[in-house]
Amino acid sequence: MSILWIFGYTYVITWFTYDICNAMNMRFSIIPMFLYPFGVAIRDIKKFLDFNLALETFRDELPDQEISLAETYQPQIFQMTGLSGIAWLLYTMIASKPVVF
């Protein structure tokens, strides 16, 4: 179910990006390469601060437990590397038009 949710979310983002770029007569790579990374960076700063807070709590309350930073970023990596590409692939297969970056 979670893979379907992420796929649907990724498809909506891809569709939104495509429509905005067409409406503003921009290249398709502008929004994903420049605008989205700033939003991701803001989210990741918050996630990093929360992670440091969790580490302090673990150190104080559960000194024998461990947590790694990689565990907190797995869904985003999967979303960006896997499902974005699948959404673009499905668009090119359905619309019979290439996506040019």
Residue 3: the pLDDT is 83
Mean pLDDT of 70-76: 59
pTM reported for the whole predicted model: 0.41
Contact 47, 72 (CB under 8 A): yes
CA angle 49, 51, 55 (to 5 degrees): 120
Nearest to 6 by CA among 97, 94, 83: 83
User: Residue 7 above 80 pLDDT?
Assistant: yes
Burial code (b: 16+ CB inside 10 Å, e: under 16) for 37-49 equals eeeeeeeeeeeee
User: Residue 45 above 80 pLDDT?
Assistant: yes
Give alpha helix (H) positions in the chain: 2-23, 30, 36-61, 70-78, 84-95
